[in-house]
């Protein structure tokens, strides 16, 4: 039986410059499994996607970090993209959101450069994950074990390297989200 995510609510944290496939592919997979997905950002309006270094589509923001509570969500997804990841990692509200999700033991999916936010939030020490290869020094210096694999599962986290890994990543992301306890609606 396929995993079902009916009733699950997943936050995708991004700002301008995210790798579009790393948002759209997991978002479509999660929604096809029944999850509600919100694009959460540090700004209102829209965010600009990228296909590597070329502008792609703009996406409507569903929620803004200033007014969102991490505990409204059953899980978190962090797409990559160098510009996105380098900017969002400095946002204190994004860091707090990540810390709250991690403290609650909720599932976190991360791909490519998205791991920079996990580093800046101070939650990678002792974890095993993968990322775009250029982040391996950053992750190791922050106390993580970096491995070069298509998909890595470590407890409540699943990580992947790049858009080519999305089919395997999406499959494991759905399993991870389905295994987690559902949040209690208030």
Residue 109 near residue 77 (C-beta atoms within 8 A): yes
Closest CA to 160 of 170, 169, 172, 147: 169
Residue 46 near residue 78 (C-beta atoms within 8 A): no
Q: Is 113 a catalytic residue?
A: yes
Residue 4 near residue 33 (C-beta atoms within 8 A): yes
Q: What is the pLDDT of residue 2?
A: 61
Q: What is the pLDDT of residue 181?
A: 77
Q: Which residues pair with 152 in a beta bridge?
A: 159
Q: pLDDT per residue over 115-153, tens digit each?
A: 999 999 999 999 999 999 999 999 999 999 999 999 999
Active-site pick, 89, 106, 113, 127? 113
pTM of the entire predicted model: 0.96
Residue 61 near residue 67 (C-beta atoms within 8 A): no
Q: Which domains does the chain have, with CATH numbers?
A: 9-179 (3.40.50.880)
- Grouping H, G, I as helix, E, B as strand and the rest as coil, residue 118 is helix
Q: What is the pLDDT of residue 121?
A: 98
Listing DSSP states for 15-72 in one string gives -TTEEHHHHHHHHHHHHHTT-EEEEEESSSSEEEEEETTEEEEEEE-SEEGGG--GGG
Q: What is the pLDDT of residue 138?
A: 98
CA dihedral of 44, 108, 136, 116, whole degrees rounded to 10: 20
Q: What is the pLDDT of residue 180?
A: 83
Taking the mean position of all CA atoms in its chain, how far away is CA 168?
15
Listed as ranges, residues in the chain with pLDDT below 50 are: 1, 186
Q: How far apart are CA 70 and CA 113, in angstroms?
A: 21
- Triad 29, 153, 89: Cα angle to 5°: 80
Active-site pick, 112, 115, 121, 129? 112
Residue 176 near residue 159 (C-beta atoms within 8 A): no
């Amino acid at each position: 039986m396929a995993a079902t995510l009916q009733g699950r609510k997943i936050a995708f944290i991004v700002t301008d410059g995210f790798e579009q496939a790393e948002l759209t592919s997991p978002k479509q997979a999660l929604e096809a499994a029944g999850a509600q997905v919100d694009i959460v950002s540090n700004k209102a309006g829209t965010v600009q996607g990228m296909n590597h270094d070329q502008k792609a589509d703009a996406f409507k923001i569903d929620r803004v970090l200033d007014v969102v509570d991490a505990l409204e969500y059953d899980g978190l997804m962090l797409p990559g993209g160098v510009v996105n990841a380098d900017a969002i990692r400095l946002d204190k509200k994004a860091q707090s959101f990540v810390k709250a999700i991690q403290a609650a033991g909720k599932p976190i999916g991360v791909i490519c450069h998205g791991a920079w936010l996990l580093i800046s939030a101070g939650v990678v020490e002792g974890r095993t994950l993968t990322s775009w290869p250029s982040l391996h020094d950053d992750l190791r210096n922050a106390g993580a074990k970096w491995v070069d694999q298509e998909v890595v599962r470590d407890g409540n986290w699943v990580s992947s390297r790049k858009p080519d890994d999305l089919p395997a990543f999406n499959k494991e992301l759905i399993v991870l989200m389905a295994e987690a306890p559902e949040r209690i609606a208030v």
